[in-house]
């Protein structure tokens, strides 16, 4: 069957409208479940129809109707240098000439591995995979293989990809029972997944006490970006480091989102707490599909073929993905990068808070480096339960009002926002003006 674009019969206009996006999304309904390749893209939690992108460049995305948006999703994290950075695309073109996938060792893997090892304090050896999900799946197997224990502690509201063991309902009572979050996930698979509220060391202590010598480790987002934006309270990461050590368990930072974003060495470098293992993705792939897990050499020595823990991948470490990652890290390593990201993102979030307050809308928000988020409720928000107080109805209206003003925010009240080196001070000014008008229009 040949795909026929529905756009053939839709005229292009100059005013803001989404006619062509709608035509494509409608056609997608019968082709892909929900019309998308990943659920949040469908805009279900903000209402309205999704915008179908045509191209991206720098801080901008253009949709198929010709509308331009200042983009704060950045492909959900990878685009920290801005979309399609000319140096990244030039390097990719050069590599492309040599082929897209080798299925054999290539020197580019050494190069990216060396850069990751040099930057991320916990990583002495690394294995490349193709997504964050894959990295987290593998790291859990490694935690179990190394400790000989089956249970794992995760936190409510932390996302570690869609592997069965991590899909545990983030709700109080059922949470600690390990009830699966999705049909198709056997209870037996999640029964070893224990959950605790984020920022709650006592809960973690209790879980260790109740499951002595059975817990392989604790995995968490060191700064949460999948429940909105939640920062670790002082002492939380340090406390987890001590508790895991005391109990012979491993500490794992899932830095798929925070890696090379919170600082060049990730959240662990920024907060000075070194886990045993780390998962990465997004930025280290520079916009191509990459994930990675790494850690102490003694633990990584368990991974096949060095050791007995099996894990493999047809496209893992492919030259294109390695190239995009290497170029992106080279750009990030330049002097002053993170200071710039920190300053512009802070100006953005403070302006958003001021705009909401000016319209009499309750708000609490925060940023670290190139990551930010806000909740439309009184703060503080320290865990997923508190995050749920955000007004999702107002957020939905805000999201639509911002789109109409040329700003693309994540289509969910429970996702962090991302800035990039390509966002100029002018872009931030335009964004803040749009927030002012949008908050005023929806209050
Ligand atoms: C912290 C974290 N871990 C894991 C994942 C899964 O990564 P992927 O979507 O590449 O499978 C994500 C994705 O957003 C993430 O934010």
| Domain CATH number, residue 66 | 3.90.1150.10
User: Could you tell me if 327 and 347 lie in one domain?
Assistant: no
Contact by Cβ (8 Å): 252, 279:
yes
Residue 216 has pLDDT above 80, yes or no: yes
Residue 77 lies in a domain: no
User: Could you tell me if 61 and 162 lie in one domain?
Assistant: no
Q: Which residues of 27-66 are buried (b: 16+ CB within 10 A; e: fewer)?
A: ebeeeeeebbeeebbbbebbeeebbbbeebbbbbbbbbbe
| 199 CB-near residues (< 8 Å, 6+ apart) | 230, 232, 233, 236, 382, 383
SS3 406: coil
User: Could you tell me if 367 and 421 lie in one domain?
Assistant: yes
165-169, 208-212, 343-347: the lowest-pLDDT one: 165-169
Q: Is the CB of 226 under 6 A from ligand 1?
A: yes
Residue 212 has pLDDT above 60, yes or no: yes
The pair phi, psi for residue 210, each rounded to 5°, is: -80, -15
Q: Which atom of ligand 1 is nearest to the CA of 291?
A: 10
Q: Is the CB of 439 under 6 A from ligand 1?
A: no
Q: Is the CB of 258 under 6 A from ligand 1?
A: no
User: Could you tell me if 307 and 407 lie in one domain?
Assistant: no
| 356 CB-near residues (< 8 Å, 6+ apart) | 362, 363, 374, 376, 435, 439
- pLDDT tens digits, residue range 70-81? 999 999 999 999
- Residue 167: what pLDDT? 86
Residue 415 lies in a domain: yes
**Mean pLDDT score, 108-127:** 98
Instruction: Tell me which DSSP letter residue 257 carries.
Output: T
Residue 225 lies in a domain: yes
**Protein residue closest via CA to atom 16 of ligand 1:** 257
User: Could you tell me if 117 and 202 lie in one domain?
Assistant: yes
Q: Which atom of ligand 1 is nearest to the CA of 131?
A: 10
Q: Measuring CA to CA, which residue among 118, 140, 114, 375 is closest to residue 266?
A: 118
Residue 423 has pLDDT above 80, yes or no: yes
Q: Is the CB of 132 under 6 A from ligand 1?
A: yes
Last residue of a domain, one of 332, 364, 384: 332
User: Could you tell me if 242 and 387 lie in one domain?
Assistant: no
**H/E stretch holding 295:** strand 291-295
Residue 167 lies in a domain: yes
Last residue of a domain, one of 332, 363, 378: 332
Q: Which atom of ligand 1 is nearest to the CA of 226?
A: 16
Residue 80 lies in a domain: no
Last residue of a domain, one of 275, 309, 332: 332
Domain range for 311 is 86-332
Residue 293 has pLDDT above 50, yes or no: yes
Q: What are the residue numbers of the active site?
A: 159, 254, 282
Q: Which atom of ligand 1 is nearest to the CA of 161?
A: 6
DSSP-derived secondary structure for 76-130: GTT-TT-BT-HHHHHHHHHHHTT-S--SS--HHHHHHHHHHHHH-TT-SEEEEES
Contact by Cβ (8 Å): 295, 279:
no
- pLDDT tens digits, residue range 321-333? 999 999 999 999 9
Calculate how far, in angstroms, residue 37's C-alpha sits from the geometric centre of ligand 1.
15
Contact by Cβ (8 Å): 193, 168:
yes
Residue 114 lies in a domain: yes
Residue 81 lies in a domain: no
User: Could you tell me if 94 and 203 lie in one domain?
Assistant: yes
Residue 267 has pLDDT above 90, yes or no: yes
Residue 7 has pLDDT above 80, yes or no: no
- pLDDT tens digits, residue range 373-416? 999 999 999 999 999 999 999 999 999 999 999 999 999 999 99
Note the pTM of the prediction, 2 decimals. 0.95
Return the percentage of the chain with pLDDT > 90, whole number. Answer: 89
Return the percentage of the chain with pLDDT > 70, whole number. Answer: 95
Q: Is the CB of 157 under 6 A from ligand 1?
A: no
Q: Is the CB of 136 under 6 A from ligand 1?
A: yes
User: Could you tell me if 103 and 167 lie in one domain?
Assistant: yes
- Residue 349: what pLDDT? 98
User: Could you tell me if 188 and 247 lie in one domain?
Assistant: yes
Banded pLDDT at 177 (limits 50, 70, 90): very low
**Mean pLDDT score, 177-204:** 85
Residue 22 lies in a domain: yes
Q: Measuring CA to CA, which residue among 122, 119, 98, 120 is closest to residue 108?
A: 98
User: Could you tell me if 42 and 101 lie in one domain?
Assistant: no
Calculate how far, in angstroms, residue 134's C-alpha sits from the geometric centre of ligand 1.
9
What's the domain count of the chain? 2
Strand partners, 267: none
| Domain CATH number, residue 179 | 3.40.640.10
**H/E stretch holding 368:** strand 364-368
Q: How far apart are CA 144 and CA 309, in angstroms?
A: 10
User: Could you tell me if 257 and 350 lie in one domain?
Assistant: no
Banded pLDDT at 232 (limits 50, 70, 90): very high
Q: Is the CB of 82 under 6 A from ligand 1?
A: no
- Residue 140: what pLDDT? 98
Calculate how far, in angstroms, residue 383's C-alpha sits from the geometric centre of ligand 1.
19
* Residue with the two structure tokens 């293992």: 277
Q: How far apart are CA 371 and CA 410, in angstroms?
A: 12
Angle at 288 between CA 286 and CA 293, to 5 degrees: 80
- Residue 9: what pLDDT? 66
User: Could you tell me if 327 and 341 lie in one domain?
Assistant: no
């Amino acid at each position: 069957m040949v795909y026929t674009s529905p756009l053939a019969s839709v005229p292009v206009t100059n005013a803001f409208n989404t006619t062509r996006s709608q035509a494509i999304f409608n056609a997608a309904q019968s082709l892909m479940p929900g019309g998308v390749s990943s659920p949040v893209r469908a805009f279900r939690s903000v209402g309205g129809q999704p915008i179908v992108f045509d191209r991206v460049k720098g801080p901008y995305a253009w949709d198929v109707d010709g509308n331009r948006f200042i983009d704060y999703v950045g492909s959900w994290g990878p685009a920290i240098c801005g979309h399609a950075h000319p140096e990244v695309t030039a390097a990719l073109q050069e590599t492309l000439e040599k082929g897209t996938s080798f299925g054999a060792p290539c020197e580019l893997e050494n190069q990216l591995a060396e850069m990751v090892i040099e930057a991320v304090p916990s990583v002495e050896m690394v294995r490349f995979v193709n997504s964050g999900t894959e990295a987290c799946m593998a790291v859990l197997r490694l935690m179990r293989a190394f400790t000989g224990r089956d249970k794992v502690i995760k936190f409510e509201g932390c996302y570690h990809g869609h592997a069965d063991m991590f899909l545990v309902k983030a709700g109080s009572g059922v949470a600690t029972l390990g009830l699966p979050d999705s049909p198709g996930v056997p209870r037996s698979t999640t029964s070893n997944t224990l959950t605790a509220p984020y920022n709650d060391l006592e809960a973690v202590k209790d879980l260790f006490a109740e499951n002595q010598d059975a817990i392989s480790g604790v995995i968490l987002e060191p700064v949460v970006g999948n429940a909105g934006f939640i920062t670790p309270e002082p002492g939380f990461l340090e406390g987890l480091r001590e508790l895991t050590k005391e109990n012979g368990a491993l500490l794992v930072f899932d830095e798929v989102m925070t890696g090379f974003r919170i600082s060049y060495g990730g959240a662990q470098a920024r907060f000075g707490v070194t886990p045993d293992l780390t998962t990465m993705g997004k930025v280290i792939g520079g916009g191509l599909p990459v994930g990675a897990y790494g850690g102490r050499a003694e633990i990584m020595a368990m991974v096949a073929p060095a050791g007995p823990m099996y894990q493999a991948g047809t496209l893992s470490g492919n030259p294109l993905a390695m190239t995009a990652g290497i170029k992106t890290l080279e750009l990030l390593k330049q002097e002053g990068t993170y200071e710039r990201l920190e300053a512009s993102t802070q100006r953005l979030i403070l302006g958003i808070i001021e705009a909401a307050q000016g319209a009499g809308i309750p708000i609490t928000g925060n940023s670290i480096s190139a990551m930010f988020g806000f909740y439309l409720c009184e703060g503080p928000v320290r865990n997923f339960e508190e995050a749920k107080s955000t007004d999702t109805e107002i957020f939905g209206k805000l999201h639509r009002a911002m789109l109409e003003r040329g700003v693309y925010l994540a289509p969910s009240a429970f996702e962090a926002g991302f800035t990039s080196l390509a966002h100029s001070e002018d872009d931030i000014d335009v964004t803040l003006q749009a927030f002012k008008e949008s908050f005023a229009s929806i209050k």
